[in-house]
Structure 1
Amino acid sequence: MIDKRWIGAAFAGSVLMVSGADSWQASWIGVDGTGIEITPNPEAVKEGVPDKKRKKKMPKPSGYWTCFRKGIKLDKAPDHAVAKIAVDSKYWLWINGEQVVFEGQLKRGPNPKDTYYDTVDLSAHLKKGDNTIALLVWYFGKSGFSHNDSGKAGLIFDASIDDKPLLSDASWKTIIHPAYGFTGAPHPNIRLPESNIRFDAQKDMLDWQMPGFDDSQWLAATEYGTVPCDPWNNLILRPIPLWKDFGLKDYVNVDELPSVSTGEPIIAKLPYNAQITPYLKVEGPAGQLIDLRMDNYRGGGPPNVRAEYVTRAGVQEYESLGWMNGHEMHYTIPAGFKILALKYRETGYDTEFTGTFECDDEFFNRYRQKALRTLYVTMRDTYFDCPDRERAQWWGDAVNELGEAFYVLDPRSSDLAQKGILELMNWQKDDGTIFSPVPGNYTRELPMQMLNSVGYFGFWTYYLYSGDLETIRTVYPGVKRYLEVWQIGDDGLVIPRKGGWTWGDWGKDKDMTILYNGWFYLALKGQKLMAEAVGETADIPVITARMKSIEANFNKTFWTGKEYRSPGYKGSTDDRAHALAVISGLAQPEQYPAILEVFRTEEHCSPYMEKYVGEALYQMRFEEDAIARAKKRYNYMTAHEYTTLFEGWEIGRKGFGGGTINHAWSGGMLTLLSQYGAGVAPVTPGYETYQVLPQMGSLQFIKTIVPSVKGDIKLELHNQTDAFSINLVSPEHTEAMVGLPKPSGGSVKHITANGETVWEDGQATQLPNGLRFVEETEHYIKFSARPGDWKFSTFY
C-alpha cells in the first residue's frame, strides 16, 4: 500500500510517490576510467515499432557487471541497521561473505524519469569488529518492454547503523568484473532488456565478496551526485517484497543425471514451470564452453535468454544469475567432464498459496492447479504476459491476473497490482492517453486493453477486493483525463479510436464496434463507482449521461432480434461481443436464451476473452453451460503435460494456437469457479460485507479457502438432489450475505443453521444470535451472518 512517508509530486497530470531528497545523504557511485564504453542497442531504443516493421537482425549485446566493496569497523553488533539501495539495473549483496540479497532492485520505471530503491535490514548480518560489504551490479544497458534504461550504470547505498551513516562515496572500491562478457548471436529478442550471460571462469576473481580479499588494485569509486541526480532522478520506495528464495534444489530426475558428460545435452527436469537460476559443479580442463538454456528458450518464437560458462581447470562451481523459466534445464557440457552436482534455485514473488479450491470434478482441480502455476510464473517485477518472450506488463493480461490472485494468493500479492496501477497512470501522456506495457520503451496505446484496465474489471476490482481507497484516490484524476479522450458520436455510441494498435483480441471474427462500446461502458461503470468512492460527485452526472446514451442506443443499433451484430460487420457472430453485452448489463434478460445459443455455437475468442464469456454465462445463470463450455475449450491445454496454461488454445496444433505455453490470461475460469461456482465475492470494498451465493451447476462438492484482506474465508458446499449444505467459517470484522439456493422447479421445505430451524413454511422462524433474515429472491433465501462458524442445511 502507499507509504504515508512519501509526498505527492505532479507528473503528466497524475501523481507519483517520491522520496524527499533530503532523506538521502549518499552519493551515486560507479566505475570510470576503465576504457569500457557501452553503446545502447539501436534496435532496443526504437520505441513503439511493431516487430513486423523491424529489421530482422537481433539486438547487439549491451551492459556490464560491476563489483563494489566497502569495509567498516563497528564497536558492537548493531541493534538497528537498515540500508536504502538503488542501482540500474540489478544487484546481489553480501555481508562478510554471506549472501543477504539475491537479485535486488526493480526494473526502472515508476514513471518515465525515476528509479525504484530497496530497503534491506542488515542488523542480523553485521558484527562487532571488521565487516565487509560487497555488491555485484548488473547494468542491462538497454531498455525493453519491461525496463526503462537510465543510460548509465550506478549504485547508491545509504545506510543507518545505530543512527550512524554508512554511505556510498569515493571511499568505496570498485571494478568491472572481468569474467562477465557477451555471448555470440543469437541474442535475446528486442522485447527483453536482459542480455545473455557469458562467464569466463579463467578470468574470475575468486572470493572477491569475502573479508580479507585484496582489493588494493581496484579503483576508487567515482561520485556522480546525490538524490535527485540525473539520470536516475527521484527514488521511489520499492512497493513489493524482495524475492522469495527457495534455495538450491535437486532436479526431479537427479538420480538419472550422468556423473560424466558424454557431450550430449543433459536434460534436468523441474517439478513445474518456474523462474530459476541454474547451478553446476563440475571437474575438468580449462577453456571449455558449457551452454545453459531452458526448454523455453524459444518460448513464443524468438530467442529468449541463455547463458554460457567457460571453465577453469579443476573442480569448480557456478550459478548463472540471470533467471530463466521452463520445465527443463538443458546443460551442454563437454565430453569427459565429471559432473559433481547440477541444481537449480527457484526465486519468485514473495507470497503464499493460501487460497485453495477443490471440487468433485478432477478436470477443474487440474485446471486450477495449472492456472495457479501460470499466475505465479508471470509475477515478478510486474505482472507480465509471459516469463520468456516478453516479461511485459500488458494490461489485458494484468486485469485477468490480478483478479485470479485475489482467490489464490495472500494479500501481499495485491501490492503488485497496486504497483502496476500507479505505473500505468504515472506514464500517462500529455494528451491524456495511457498505454502499455509500462515501464519500458513501447509507447503505443491499445485502446480496448486500456479501457479494461481503468474500468470495472481493472481498477475497480482491485479496490473492491483490497479496500485500498488511497490508490483509487491517487489515480482517479488520470482515469478521468483518459476517459475524456473518448467521445460520444451523433448515434449516441462511443466513437472508436484506433490508438497505436487497434487490438480487440487474438483470433478472427471480432465485431470491433460492439467491443469498443462494451469496454467503454464498463470503463464508465468503473469510473462512476470510483467517483462515488472518492467523493468526486460533480463528475457523476456527466458519467451517468454518457452511460445512458449508450444504454439508449446499444440494443437499438446492434441487436438483430436473434444476435448482436454491428452494421457493416460481415464476419461470423462474435462470442466476445455477446459476452461484453451481458457483463456490462446492456443485454436484457429476454435476450439471454438467444445469447446462450450464440455461446453454444460460436467459439472465436482467445483464452483472454474466454473469461468474459464464462462470466456472462454465470451472470445469466447458465452455470451448467459455463462448466460445459470451459471443459470443452480448455480440454487440450488442461490435459497437456505442461504445468501451465497457453496463450493460444492449442500450442503446436494446426490453426490458431500459437504463442507461449505460460500465459496467465488463460486462468479466468480459476476466478469464476470461486467467484460464481462457490459464490464468494466482496459486496463492499475490502470484504467488510461479502456474499456466498453458490452457482454449482453440475458440481456436487466444493471446498475452498478464499484469502480475503479480512482473513481466510473457509467454505464447504454439498449439492445433492434433495438437500444443499453450506459450512462457512467467516473471519472477524465481516458480514456474510449467505444465499441458500432454491431448487429449480421446486420449493424449500426448511432450512437449519447450526442445528436450529431458521426457515419453514415459506418464512423465517426464530433465528439464533448473529443471524438475520434478509430476503427471498428468485434463486436464493438469504441470511446475514456475523463472523464465526456456520452450518446451513437446506432441505427440498
Structure 2
Amino acid sequence: MKSPELVQEEQTVLSQDLGGPWFELPAGTDEPPSSGVASSMKFRARVTIGSPGTDPARVYISADSRYRLMVNGALVAAGPAKPSGRTWFADTVDIGAHLIPGENIIGIDVLSYSTSSLGNVSVQRTGRPGMLVRGIIGETDLSEPAAWKCRFVHGRHFRQGRNTLFLGIQESTDGTASEHDWLQTGFDDAAWHVPATDNQQPFSGTPRPPLAPRPIPHLTLEPVPIIDVKASSEPGIDWSRLMRGEPIDIRPNTDASVDLDAGVLMTAFLSLAVESGQGARVELTAAECYEQPPTDLPWLRRKADRTDHINGDLYGDPDQYLISGTGTQEAPEVYSPFWFRTFRYVRLRITTTDTPARLQSINLTRTHYPLAITGSFASSSEVYGKLWDVSVRTLLNCMHETFEDCPFYEQLQYAMDTRSQALFSLHLSTDDRLIRRAIEDFAASGNPTGLTESRSPSVEPQFIPGFSLYWIRMIADHVSYVGDRPYTERFIGRIDAVLGYFKDRLSPDGFVISAEGDGVLWNFVDWTEAWRTSRGVPELGPRRTNTIATFMYIAALRSAASIAGFCGRDGLAREYASRADTLTEIVRRGAAWDENASYYRDSDGGTPQSVHAQMWAVLSGVVQGGAATDLLRRAVADKHLAPCSYATALDLFDALRHAHADERIDWKPWEDMLALNLTTWAEDTVSLRSDCHAWGSVPLQHFPRYILGVSPAGAGFTNSVIDPAPSDLDWAEGTVPTPHGPINVQWKRTASGSREVTVSAPPVIGLTLPDAASAITEHPATGRRTVTFTLPPAGRTLQKPLAALTK
C-alpha cells in the first residue's frame, strides 16, 4: 500500500497540474506518419546526477494513450493505468534504482490510439498524441519542455489483427527507419524537437482530461526463461543455445523458424536482440497453443492436445520487423513490440538476404498485477493441488490494469467475469485495490436507462443487462469480505438505477421482459452448446419473458438489501427485500413453472430448457430447503437441459452447496483440460477460443469456502462460519486472508471416518461452528484464537441452524 506521505505528495503534484501542460510535438515541425490504428512518439531527456542517494527519484507520468518508460535502456514501467470514465491517471514511478552517477538517459515511448479506429478497445484516447511528466531528477526539472527532445516514429505501423480483434497491438516495423541508439548517451538528437505544450499552440480537439493518482500498483516486470524448443524448420541450427544465453548465426538466404516453449501460458513483453543481418525479416507470432485450422477466425477454433505440434499449428497475429543491420556485439539492434503478448509458444521466423544475421537473444519479461498472495490450499488430492495452481496462474494472467476476460484476444473487463475474478482474488489476498477500481469503472459507465455497461473501460459501448446485476453482487461480496462503508455508500444511487431498469420491465405476471438484442444490447447468459447459434442467449418466446433474468433480479434485490443495510439505509433495505419477496411469490405460482417436468422454463411457454433456470431459482431463494436439493440433483443429471459452462460454474457450485447437493459438484471438466495439457483454464467448450479465462478459476473460492469451510458471516469478515463440507478427502489445510489477519484451517479424517478440525483465527473475528460439531475445545494462544472440534462421518446436520461459538 502507498504510504500516507506518498499519497499526499501525489495529490499535491496533481492538484497543481490539473489540465496540463502536456507535451506534444510542435505544430509544423513533423507530421505523424500514416500508421494504422495508432501513432508512436518518442521523448528523450538527459539528466546528470552525482552519486545516487537513498532518497526516491520520483517521476509522475501519463500519456495519451500508452507509454513505456526506459531508464538507461531498461524497461522500468508501462502505463498509465487505463482511464476510468472521464478520469485519467498519472503514474508515480521511482527510477532511483536505475540511475547511475553521471549522465543518464530517460526515454519514453508513447503510443497514441486513433479516435477513428478501435485500436485497443479498453483504452480511452483523445486523438491528441501527447505525454505529461513531472519530477526533478538531479538538477533537471522534467516538467520543463527544454528538458526533452521528441519526434514521431516513422516506419512503425500498428494494426488491428485478425485474432486480437479488440486489441490493435500488432506491429510492422521498418528497422531501417528507426534510431536504435536513441536510449544511449552518445546519441545525437539534434534533429529532434523540443516539445510544445498545450498552452503554446491554439486549442483544438478534445480537451485533456482531469488526472488522479494511479489507484493500483505497477505491473510486475519479471524476466523468465525459455523452457524448451518445440519445433524448428532448420535442423542444422541449435536453437537450444538461446536457453543458454548463447548467440545463433543464421546463414545468408535462409528462411528459418523455431517454436519456443515458455512452459506455461503467460503474459509477457517480448524483446529480440540481433547483430548485422541487413534486410532480414523477422516475424514473432505469439500463440496460446497448437490447434487445427480455425473454423472462423477469431471466434471458432478447433483444439485438442494443446502441445501437439505434429497434428496442430500455431495461429496468431505476427509482429513483423525489418532488420537494419546496424547492430553490433556491444550494441545490438533491439526490437520489442510495444505491448505485452499472451502466449505459451512463440514462433520466431527469420528470413535473411545475402547477409548473415546473428541472433543474440530473445527475452521474455512476465507481467501481471502484483497480487500479494497469502491464501493457500493443500489436500490429500494431487489433482486438487493442480487445480489450485492452474487457477492461480489463470487469474494472474487475467489481472493487469483491470481484470480481463482473456488477455490474448480482448483484455476487456466484463462485469460477469470480474465478479468471479474479484471473489477469487479475495481468497488469495487482502489487496482489494483492483476490485475497487473495477467497481468504480462500472459505476462510471452508467447509462441513463439505469444499466452499467457490460465491459468497462471501453471506447465501444455494449450492454448485457444481467451483467449490471453481477456488478451489484460484486459490491455485496466486497462488503462481506472488506466492509468499507464510506466507500460502499458512493454506489447506492447507481445500484438503485440498475434495479430501476429491471423494475420498469416487469410484466404483471412477474417476468422481466427482455428487449430485443442489437449491436449494442446483448442478452447473454452462458456459452453453452444449446445456445451456440444464439450466442449464449436462451429462447425467450414471443413476449420475450425471461425467467433467468427474473431470478437474477430477485437475487440482486437481496444483495442490494444487504448493501443498503450495511450503509445504514434501513428503509431502502426493507424496500428491496419487500420487492424481492413479492416477486418471489408471483414467480413461484406463475407460468415459469412446468408442472409436468417439475422444472422452471426459460420463458413463459414451451418446455424447460436449461440448468440455468433451476440454478437461479435456488440462488434467488425462490426454491429452498429439500425442494432445492431435489431440483438441482435432478437438473444437473438431466441430459435434456442445457448444462452450465465454465462461465457459470461458480454460480452452479454455490447453488449446489446451498442446496446441500455437494455430491453433484463435478471437477471432471477441469481434469479434462489438464489431460489436454492446458496450463490455464479455457474460456468455454463451444467456441474453444481462449485458453486463458479466469472465470474458470472456481477452485480459488470453492476450496477455501467449502472444503476448508471458511466464509464471512458479517460485513468485513467480523464474523466467520467454519463449516467444512462433506468430503472424501483424507485431509485438507489452508489459509484464508481477512482484513483482521489470516484464518488457518486444517482437518484430517480419523479411523472412524469422523474429521478432526483445527481453526486458528484472529481473536477479533467471531466464529460460528456447525451444529453437528462436538468435542469443542478452545486452546489459549498469544494473539490468536485456536479451536478444535470433531465432525461426524455424515458431515454436519444440514437442516439445523449453526450455533454461535461463545468467545
TM-score by length of 2: 0.81
2:717 paired with 1:684 = no
**253-262 or 276-285, larger mean C-alpha shift:** 253-262
2:244 paired with 1:270 = no
Alpha-carbon distance in structure 1 between the residues aligned to 2:655 and 2:12: 41
**Does the CA-based 8 Å contact 1:375-1:401 persist in structure 2?**
yes
2:567 paired with 1:551 = no
Match of 1:326 among 343, 364, 371: 343
- Helix, strand or coil for the counterpart of 1:595? helix
Match of 1:597 in 2: 634
CA deviation after TM superposition for structure 1 residue 251, in Å: 3.4
**Does the CA-based 8 Å contact 2:286-2:318 persist in structure 1?**
yes
Deviations 1:313-348 (A, max 9, x none): 254342333211121111011266444333311111
Match of 1:174 in 2: 150
Alpha-carbon distance in structure 2 between the residues aligned to 1:659 and 1:630: 21
Match of 1:99 in 2: 74
Deviations 1:249-284 (A, max 9, x none): 343449863644563421110121101122333444
Equivalent residues in 2 for 1:52-201, closer than 5 Å: 61-72=36-47, 79-95=55-71, 97=72, 99=74, 101-107=76-82, 109-111=83-85, 113-125=86-98, 131-141=104-114, 142-143=117-118, 144-159=120-135, 166-169=142-145, 171-178=147-154, 180-182=155-157, 189-192=164-167, 194-201=168-175
Match of 2:446 in 1: 428
Deviations 1:12-61 (A, max 9, x none): xxxxx99964355962011143553467xxxxxxxxxxxxxxxxxxxx82
Structure-2 change in CA distance of 1:594 and 1:189 (3 Å): closer
Alpha-carbon distance in structure 2 between the residues aligned to 1:157 and 1:769: 50
Structure-2 change in CA distance of 1:470 and 1:252 (3 Å): farther
CA deviation after TM superposition for structure 1 residue 714, in Å: 2.2
Letter in 2 for 1:110: S
Letter in 2 for 1:466: V
**210-219 or 422-431, larger mean C-alpha shift:** 210-219
Alpha-carbon distance in structure 2 between the residues aligned to 1:680 and 1:714: 9
Deviations 1:112-141 (A, max 9, x none): x33221012244455776554321212233
Equivalent residues in 2 for 1:429-508, closer than 5 Å: 429-455=447-473, 458-487=474-503, 488-498=506-516, 500-507=521-528, 508=530
Match of 2:211 among 235, 238, 242: 235
TM-score by length of 1: 0.82
**133-142 or 151-160, larger mean C-alpha shift:** 133-142
Structure-2 change in CA distance of 1:72 and 1:364 (3 Å): closer
Match of 1:246 among 195, 203, 222: 222
Match of 2:312 in 1: none
Match of 1:257 among 237, 240, 249: 240
2:367 paired with 1:347 = yes
2:339 paired with 1:308 = no
2:406 paired with 1:406 = no
Letter in 2 for 1:604: P
**Does the CA-based 8 Å contact 2:704-2:710 persist in structure 1?**
yes
Equivalent residues in 2 for 1:281-320, closer than 5 Å: 281-296=273-288, 300=299, 305-313=317-325, 315=328, 316-318=332-334, 319-320=336-337
**Does the CA-based 8 Å contact 2:300-2:689 persist in structure 1?**
yes
Deviations 1:530-556 (A, max 9, x none): 111222233234312211211211211
Alpha-carbon distance in structure 2 between the residues aligned to 1:36 and 1:101: 28
Match of 2:683 in 1: 647
- Helix, strand or coil for the counterpart of 1:604? coil
- Helix, strand or coil for the counterpart of 2:59? strand
Letter in 2 for 1:293: T
**326-335 or 316-325, larger mean C-alpha shift:** 316-325
Alpha-carbon distance in structure 2 between the residues aligned to 1:776 and 1:612: 23
CA deviation after TM superposition for structure 1 residue 65, in Å: 2.0
2:382 paired with 1:362 = yes
CA deviation after TM superposition for structure 1 residue 105, in Å: 1.0
2:416 paired with 1:415 = no
Letter in 2 for 1:27: P
CA deviation after TM superposition for structure 1 residue 174, in Å: 0.8
**Does the CA-based 8 Å contact 2:47-2:140 persist in structure 1?**
no
Match of 1:30 among 21, 24, 39: 24
Alpha-carbon distance in structure 2 between the residues aligned to 1:359 and 1:614: 19
Alpha-carbon distance in structure 2 between the residues aligned to 1:503 and 1:196: 29
- Helix, strand or coil for the counterpart of 1:364? helix
Segments of structure 1 that go 5 or more residues without pairing to the other structure are 8-16, 40-59, 650-655, 743-747, 757-767, 787-796
Letter in 2 for 1:219: H
Alpha-carbon distance in structure 1 between the residues aligned to 2:43 and 2:603: 65
Alpha-carbon distance in structure 2 between the residues aligned to 1:375 and 1:709: 21
- Helix, strand or coil for the counterpart of 2:490? helix
Deviations 1:428-486 (A, max 9, x none): 1233321121111231210112112223xx21112211223333112221111221122
Alpha-carbon distance in structure 2 between the residues aligned to 1:4 and 1:100: 27
Match of 2:624 in 1: 588
Aligned pair count?
722
Structure-2 change in CA distance of 1:770 and 1:785 (3 Å): farther
Letter in 2 for 1:383: F
**Does the CA-based 8 Å contact 1:694-1:741 persist in structure 2?**
no
Alpha-carbon distance in structure 1 between the residues aligned to 2:508 and 2:800: 41
CA deviation after TM superposition for structure 1 residue 778, in Å: 4.7
Alpha-carbon distance in structure 2 between the residues aligned to 1:133 and 1:702: 51
Equivalent residues in 2 for 1:31-46, closer than 5 Å: 31-32=25-26, 33-37=28-32
The share of aligned pairs that are identical, in percent, is 20
- Helix, strand or coil for the counterpart of 2:347? strand
Alpha-carbon distance in structure 2 between the residues aligned to 1:282 and 1:308: 14
Alpha-carbon distance in structure 2 between the residues aligned to 1:660 and 1:132: 40
Alpha-carbon distance in structure 2 between the residues aligned to 1:324 and 1:167: 32
2:600 paired with 1:608 = no
Match of 2:805 in 1: 784
**Does the CA-based 8 Å contact 2:762-2:785 persist in structure 1?**
no
- Helix, strand or coil for the counterpart of 2:700? helix
Letter in 2 for 1:438: S
Deviations 1:671-715 (A, max 9, x none): 122211211111122222222110032223212222333333222
Structure-2 change in CA distance of 1:347 and 1:466 (3 Å): same
Letter in 2 for 1:389: Y
**Does the CA-based 8 Å contact 1:287-1:312 persist in structure 2?**
yes
Deviations 1:213-236 (A, max 9, x none): 322221110111499994331012
Match of 1:523 in 2: 556
Structure-2 change in CA distance of 1:163 and 1:597 (3 Å): farther
**Does the CA-based 8 Å contact 1:624-1:698 persist in structure 2?**
no
Match of 1:538 in 2: 571
**Does the CA-based 8 Å contact 1:448-1:516 persist in structure 2?**
yes
Alpha-carbon distance in structure 2 between the residues aligned to 1:185 and 1:522: 39
Match of 2:413 in 1: 393
**Does the CA-based 8 Å contact 1:772-1:784 persist in structure 2?**
no
